[in-house]
Amino acid sequence: MLNFSELYPCSNQARMAQLLDGMWKFRFDPEEKGLQEGWQHKLPDPISMPVPASFSDFFTTKEERDFCGDFWYETEVFVPREWEKQELEIRFGSITHRASVFCNGSLTATHEGGFLPVVARVTDHVKFGEVNTFVVKANNELNEESLPCGATMVLSDGRKLAKPYFDFFNYSGIQRSVWLVSKPGESIEDFSVDYELNGEDAVVHYQIMTNGDHEVSFELFDENKQQVAKSTGAKGSVTVSKAHLWNVGKAYLYQAVMRIWDGETLIDEYSSKIGIRTVKIAGKEIQINGKAVYLKGFGKHEDFEVIGRGFNWGVLKRDFECMKWIGANCFRTSHYPYAEEWYQFADEEGFLIIDEVPAVGMMRSTRNFADAGTGKFTRFFETPTVPTLLKNHLQAVEEMIVRDKNHPSVIAWSLFNEPETTSEESKDYFTAVFDAARALDPQSRPMTGAFEKNSQPELCKCYQLCDFICLNRYYGWYIKGGPEIVDAREAFLIEMNKWKDKNLNIPFVFTEFGTDTMAAEHKLPSIMWSQEYQNEYLDMNFEIFDQFEFVQGELVWNFADFQTTEGIMRVNGNKKGIFNRVRQPKSAAFVLKKRWESLD
Ligand SMILES: O=C(O)[C@H]1O[C@@H](Oc2ccc([N+](=O)[O-])cc2)[C@H](O)[C@@H](O)[C@@H]1O
């Protein structure tokens, strides 16, 4: 059980939420002297720092861009007297990768993990009717107990440097919105909904978690703001007759309004959009509302020029427009849960999401993209750090499912990306992860994870945990690229036939396949890194996908070019985008558009 409410902030007659985004104060703390020197009260000689954003790409020196260690943020907020009788919380969409939150110098929360909300109750430390100081001490070091996994090295000049075991830049900071939330002492802490379709009607099972025992009401309003259902009690079911279902590409959202009452007096109110739909794996099909859907789309990243992994509504809008234009219906939040606004907008747009925890890098390689598929085996799940890693993994799974469980767009949970899966120890580890996850989702969504090439049908000990299987495969890129693509096709077919022979009778989704492609490079005949090769590679992959009826989806790697650590395998980042980093199409975008529109 989480000891804080993860509900997204909202304002109404019982609650107020004030956005604290803007220019904050900031300081690096390479010597880790901040606490001793009392920085939690006030940062000495701070510089300015936009929130939300990653700090890295604003700077013009490597020392700042690549900074690894402790860093601090500060802001001042006036808290009105009118909030005196309320509970106050400061809520960060995330702080990467770990943080302590101080209010007027007092420690109010600590949090491990950089991609899920950090909520600090500050009621007892705030001065009402005055300006208050909020300070965050953050740290972005990587180790083998953290999600994502990595290492931290020390350079000869004493600086720390992040060594990710994963293929994205270690962007850090306060990368999502910050809210000051005032809510009643007796309040709605969480809610969940689950659906059953019954002919034209829908039964909505709901549960409202409060921290008191006053009467609770639950109401549903349609898009015309007409009330369509009402019930009392913290747990119950309502029937919506002639329900408008939430569907792929055709979203319909009801407004759920929940209230706590003391007789006629309102104590608390919380409202949220919900979408009535069912998700089910039925044999080889992924079904939404009982109808098969073929997943078309991308693995993405939160990544953009200048702001790094910082949330930005403009980038979100452009990404959805590009995804709609190309005929996509789905994306995976590779390799971490995204800002909540992504899910809210997917709810509005009728997009499907495979929601992933930051369990990436679990094969101890600073070049996992190079070592994956080569048979390298590092006994990752056989070290003394595993118990703490598992604890952090379970915490991230819980926080993700609690946060995202009511989004109609979320159709599955991905509990890992490309770990080692061939040892007994990996099987024990992931059995614990899946068991815990299955107890958490009121909608019992399918659970999965993304398997790299070493997870072959005859060797993998973890695919059995999944309700459908996600494969990351690079036949024709990392394996037999360029002129060898004919052999890549043969090798791919051999693997696919082994999966087929298992007769698993469950869906398979390709969660990664792709080629690095320079947006400016053309070559006839094609050559690796040219636009023409990306198109040929995609065509070869599609020809194979179409031969196996259990293939029920294709999420290309990646939606857009993105920043990674420097190295001989990356040219200023990963160039597997179908769009470049500023979201303009490579020629492969037109190949996908044609195919995906014709698949409808
Ligand atoms: O390299 C990439 O572009 C992407 O590859 C994925 O990892 C693989 C690398 C090599 C092989 N292989 O050789 O088969 C399989 C998988 C990662 O999930 C992703 O984060 C990364 O960006």
Tell the CATH topology of 188-274.
Immunoglobulin-like (2.60.40)
What's the average model confidence in pLDDT over 369-386? 82
Residue 133 CA to ligand 1 center (angstroms) comes to 43
Residue 583 CA to ligand 1 center (angstroms) comes to 21
Which ligand 1 atom sits closest to the C-alpha of 453?
14
Residue nearest (by alpha carbon) to ligand 1 atom 11: 372
User: For the domain with range 290-599, which CATH number is right: 2.170.190.11, 3.40.50.300, 3.20.20.80, 3.30.1050.10?
Assistant: 3.20.20.80
406-423 tens-digit pLDDT: 999 999 999 999 999 999
210-244 tens-digit pLDDT: 999 999 999 999 999 999 999 999 999 999 999 99
- The CA-based angle 574-306-314, given to 5 degrees, is 95
Residue 372 CA to ligand 1 center (angstroms) comes to 7
Give bridge partners of residue 439 from the DSSP assignment: none
Mutational pocket test of ligand 1: of 357, 455, 478, 575, the residue with most ligand atoms within 8 Å of the beta carbon: 478
Which ligand 1 atom sits closest to the C-alpha of 417?
18
- pLDDT value of position 61: 98
Q: Give the residue numbers marked as catalytic.
A: 418, 512
With 60 as the cut, is the pLDDT of residue 503 above it? yes
The pocket around ligand 1, CB under 6 angstroms, is made up of 166-167, 335, 368-369, 372-373, 417-418, 452-453, 472, 474, 478-479, 512, 557, 574, 576
Question: How confident is residue 366, by pLDDT bands cut at 50, 70 and 90?
Answer: low
Indicate the CATH number for domain 16-183: 2.60.120.260
Which ligand 1 atom sits closest to the C-alpha of 569?
1
What's the average model confidence in pLDDT over 72-97? 97
With 90 as the cut, is the pLDDT of residue 51 above it? yes
C-alpha 12/C-alpha 261 separation (Å) is 15
Q: What is the mean pLDDT of the chain?
A: 97
Q: What is this model's ipTM?
A: 0.94
- pLDDT value of position 367: 60
What number of CA atoms fall less than 13 Å from residue 178's CA on the CB side?
A: 24
Residue 369 CA to ligand 1 center (angstroms) comes to 4
The helix (run of H) or strand (run of E) holding residue 472 is: strand 469-472
Is 497 or 369 the better-scoring residue by pLDDT? Answer: 497
Mutational pocket test of ligand 1: of 303, 334, 354, 368, the residue with most ligand atoms within 8 Å of the beta carbon: 368
Beta strands 118-121 and 87-92: pairing type?
Answer: antiparallel
- pLDDT value of position 369: 62
Which ligand 1 atom sits closest to the C-alpha of 369?
9
469-478 tens-digit pLDDT: 999 999 999 9
With 90 as the cut, is the pLDDT of residue 378 above it? no
Residue 453 CA to ligand 1 center (angstroms) comes to 9
164 and 367 Cβ atoms separated by less than 8 Å: no
- pLDDT value of position 600: 78
160 and 141 Cβ atoms separated by less than 8 Å: yes
Residue 478 CA to ligand 1 center (angstroms) comes to 8
Q: Do domains 188-274 and 290-599 have the same CATH topology?
A: no
Domain ranges of the chain: 16-183, 188-274, 290-599
Mutational pocket test of ligand 1: of 336, 418, 561, the residue with most ligand atoms within 8 Å of the beta carbon: 418
The helix (run of H) or strand (run of E) holding residue 553 is: strand 551-557
329 and 297 Cβ atoms separated by less than 8 Å: yes
- pLDDT value of position 41: 98
Residue nearest (by alpha carbon) to ligand 1 atom 4: 369
Rg, the chain, Cα only: 24
For residue 233, give the nearest of 217, 213, 210, 256 by alpha carbon. Answer: 217
What's the average model confidence in pLDDT over 124-153? 98
Question: How confident is residue 370, by pLDDT bands cut at 50, 70 and 90?
Answer: low
